[in-house]
């Protein structure tokens, strides 16, 4: 009897819970029993729909409960050994300690937070850039002994002068730039607000737009310049119906007033396909562009000197956007859209060293490295990572008080060499 009674109660309870849950989902299905084909896109309103009933809908952006970590805030060294070669141990950028939250950055008084932004949905070219950041973490083969060591030519060691961390990745939806905008923007702004210079490792170039928004959130709109180093103009109006792509971030930054037109500087552009309309846009918006043709004609250093004067006359704070395709394909073929007639790695390093000592870099993105077009030894990734190392070196030079463009340490220039006695 007792058994029957409790069984009955249990059966009633189960029936009640079914009554609560079943009709609702049944009702949902009743109101929207269209096919996925019909639900995904409404051609009349031109709206792309996500599935509101998918329980994994926000999974990619779902942050872990860090409070359960039970550790003091601050950077975490995840390596077991002091030594170890670059290809051993747990891969972080340059084997650096890891920071997860803005509180970690604040507690560690972090100067530079390097983060991956593994986005590739913004690119309509050959895919693969989304895997760039993670590949760069394992591409430190130039210096087999790994992180640290002075940059010989400047005698500055960025890893001594600066507190630098691997800030993990900004969450992205690899299927959608639009859905990733807020995540990238907030991660960048969080790092900048914590007092660090955020360095974003792409990923495709679409990440520049939310990154600039994040910088503007912290420093204010029009309070900084942009230097756009790229074989391409990225002022496209042909975006196939999308608001943000790899082709229009510079246009958006200017036309949305994130930065003044005359405070945007472009250098290295040379891709085919830029007719009068593109040239007109630069002129009308006051954007200072140094086409590759001018660099070839007047010389690299002469043009960079002018660029530095432009930058010095601005707000003094700079967002630097480096598309690796500014490099010649001979130096860097592992990019989505290589263009012939580009820079040597030496020229890019000299530009970065000069720019970062003349003005204060408040954010940098490195984009378009595409490991799918790299070789098995990630030689393109090694170039890409070495450029990041040089940028850290340049930021460290400024911190040390060096303000001279095209700087080399006097000993490197032979100035400490005594004349031979005759
Ligand atoms: Mn670009």
Per-residue exposure over 366-399, b if at least 16 CB sit within 10 Å of its own CB, e if not: bbbbbbebbeeebbbbbbbbbbbbbbbbbbbbbe
Q: What percent of the chain has pLDDT over 90?
A: 85
Between the CA of 232 and the centroid of ligand 1 the distance, in Å, is 6
Decide: helix, strand or coil at residue 178. Answer: helix
Interatomic CA distance for residues 153 and 94, integer angstroms: 19
Q: How many A from CA of 233 to the centre of ligand 1? A: 7
| Per-residue pLDDT reduced to its tens digit, 265-283 | 999 999 999 999 999 999 9
pLDDT of residue 34: 94
Q: Do 118 and 132 touch, CB atoms closer than 8 A?
A: yes
* Per-residue model confidence (pLDDT) at position 170: 98
Question: How remote is the CA of residue 249 from the centroid of ligand 1, in Å?
Answer: 9
Phi-psi region of 312 (alpha: psi -120 to 50; beta: other; left: phi over 0): alpha
**pLDDT at site 169:** 98
10: confidence class by pLDDT, cuts 50, 70, 90 = very low
* Gap from CA of 246 to ligand 1 centroid (Å): 6
Q: Residue 83's pLDDT is what?
A: 79
Q: pLDDT band at residue 124, thresholds of 50, 70 and 90?
A: confident
Tokens of 18: 């079914």
pLDDT at position 20 is 43
253 is a domain residue: yes
* pLDDT surpasses 70 at 231: yes
- Measured distance CA(145)–CA(95) in Å, rounded: 11
* pLDDT confidence of residue 13: 43
Q: Assess whether pLDDT exceeds 60 at residue 82.
A: yes
Q: Smallest Cα–Cα separation from 138: which of 374, 348, 332? A: 374
Separation of CA 116 and ligand 1 centre (Å): 17
> What is the spatial distance between Cα 411 and Cα 3, in angstroms, rounded to a whole number?
93
Query: No. of H helices and E strands in the chain?
Result: 13, 10
Question: Does this model's pTM top 0.85?
Answer: yes
Q: How many domains does the chain have?
A: 1
Query: Ligand 1 centre from 134 Cα, in Å?
Result: 20
Tokens of 5: 């009674």
Measured distance between the N- and C-terminal CA atoms of the chain, rounded to whole angstroms: 119
User: Does residue 28 register a pLDDT over 70?
Assistant: no
Predicted confidence band of residue 146 (pLDDT cuts 50, 70, 90):
low
Q: Nearest Cα to 249, choosing from 185, 278, 206, 198?
A: 206
Domain span including residue 90: 72-399
| Centre of ligand 1 from the C-alpha of residue 292, in Å | 15
Q: What angle do CA 367, 398, 197 make, to 5 degrees?
A: 45
Q: What is the mean pLDDT of residues 289-313?
A: 98
Residue 25 reports pLDDT greater than 80 = no
> Residue 360 domain-assigned?
yes
Q: Which two tokens stand for residue 309?
A: 């004067």
Sequential DSSP letters for 105-165: HHHTT-SEEEEEE---TT--SSS-GGGHHHHHHT---SSTT-S---BTTTTB-HHHHS-EE
pLDDT in tens, 353-387: 999 999 999 999 999 999 999 999 899 999 999 99
Q: What's the gap in Å between 122 CA and the centre of ligand 1?
A: 11
- Predicted confidence band of residue 29 (pLDDT cuts 50, 70, 90): low
Residue 307, burial from CB neighbour count under 10 angstroms (0-12, 13-18, 19+)? buried
Domain membership flag for residue 250 = yes
Whether 241 has a pLDDT exceeding 60, the answer reads yes
Residues in Cβ contact with 261 at an 8 Å cutoff, skipping those fewer than 6 apart: 254, 285, 286, 287
pLDDT higher than threshold 90 for residue 4? no
Q: What is the mean pLDDT of residues 23-27?
A: 49
Sign of CA dihedral 153, 159, 162, 164: positive
Is residue 31 a part of any domain in this protein?
no
Distance 325 CA to ligand 1 centre (A): 7
- Distance from residue 97's CA to the centre of ligand 1 (Å): 30
Tell me the CA–centroid distance for residue 417 and ligand 1, in Å.
43
Q: State the distance from the centre of ligand 1 to the C-alpha of 149, rounded, in angstroms.
A: 31
**Three-class secondary structure of residue 291 per DSSP:** coil
Q: Give the per-residue pLDDT at 113.
A: 99
Taking the centre of ligand 1 as the mean of its atom positions, its distance from the CA of residue 234, in whole angstroms, is 6
User: Could you tell me the pLDDT band of residue 3, with boundaries at 50, 70 and 90?
Assistant: very low
Domain membership flag for residue 344: yes
Q: How far is the CA of 228 from the centre of ligand 1 (A)?
A: 8
382-418: pLDDT as tens digits? 999 999 999 999 999 999 999 999 999 999 999 999 9
What is the 3 state secondary structure string of 230-282?
CCCCCCCCCCCCCCCCCCCHHHHHHHCCCCCHHHEEEECCCCCCCCHHHHHHH
pLDDT attached to residue 30:
63
Looking at the domain assignment, is residue 376 inside a domain?
yes
What is the average pLDDT value for the chain, to the nearest integer? 92
Tokens representing residue 69 in the block? 């970590």
Q: Is residue 39 part of a domain?
A: no
**Poorest-confidence range of 66-80, 198-212, 318-332?**
66-80
Cα of 206 vs centre of ligand 1, distance in Å, is 8
The tokens describing 247, both together, are 């082709």
User: What's the CA-to-centroid distance between 366 and ligand 1, angstroms?
Assistant: 10
**Is 416 among the domain residues?**
no
Beta carbons of 363 and 215 less than 8 angstroms apart: yes
CATH number of residue 114's parent domain: 3.40.800.10
């Amino acid at each position: 009897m007792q058994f029957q009674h409790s069984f009955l109660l249990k059966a009633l309870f189960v029936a009640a819970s079914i009554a609560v849950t079943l009709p609702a989902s049944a009702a949902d299905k009743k109101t929207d029993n269209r096919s996925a084909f019909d639900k995904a896109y409404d051609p009349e309103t031109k709206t792309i729909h996500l599935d509101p009933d998918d329980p994994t809908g926000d999974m990619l952006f779902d942050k872990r409960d860090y409070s359960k970590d039970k550790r003091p805030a601050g950077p975490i060294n995840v390596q077991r050994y002091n030594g170890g070669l670059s290809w051993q141990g747990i891969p972080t950028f340059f084997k650096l300690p890891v920071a997860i939250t803005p509180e970690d950055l604040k507690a560690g008084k972090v100067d530079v937070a390097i983060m991956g932004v593994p986005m590739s949905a913004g690119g309509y070219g050959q895919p693969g850039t989304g895997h760039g950041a993670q590949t760069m973490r394992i591409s430190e083969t130039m210096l087999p002994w790994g992180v640290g060591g002075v940059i010989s030519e400047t005698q500055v060691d960025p890893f001594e002068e600066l507190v630098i961390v691997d800030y993990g990745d900004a969450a992205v939806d690899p299927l959608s730039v639009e859905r990733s905008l807020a995540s990238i923007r907030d991660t960048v702004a969080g790092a900048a607000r914590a007092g660090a210079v955020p360095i974003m490792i792409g990923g495709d170039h679409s990440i520049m737009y939310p990154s600039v928004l994040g910088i503007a959130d912290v420093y204010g709109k029009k309070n900084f310049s942009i230097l756009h180093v790229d074989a391409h103009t990225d002022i496209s109006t042909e975006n196939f119906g999308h608001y943000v792509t790899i082709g229009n971030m510079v246009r958006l930054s200017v036309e949305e007033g994130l930065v003044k037109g005359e405070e945007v500087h472009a250098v290295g552009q040379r891709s085919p396909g830029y007719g009068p309309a593109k040239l007109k846009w630069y002129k009308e918006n006051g954007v200072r562009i140094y086409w590759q043709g001018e660099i070839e004609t007047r010389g690299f250093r002469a043009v960079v000197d002018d660029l530095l004067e432009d930058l010095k006359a601005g707000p003094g704070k700079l967002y630097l956007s480096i598309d690796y395709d500014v490099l010649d394909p001979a130096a860097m073929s592992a990019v989505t859209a290589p263009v012939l007639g580009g820079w040597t790695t030496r020229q890019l390093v000299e530009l970065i060293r000069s720019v970062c000592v003349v003005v204060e870099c408040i954010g940098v993105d490195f984009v378009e490295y595409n490991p799918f077009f790299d070789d098995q030894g990630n030689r393109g990734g090694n170039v890409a990572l070495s450029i990041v190392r040089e940028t850290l070196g340049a930021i460290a030079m400024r911190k040390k008080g060096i303000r001279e463009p095209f700087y080399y340490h006097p000993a490197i220039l032979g100035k400490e060499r005594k004349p031979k006695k005759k």
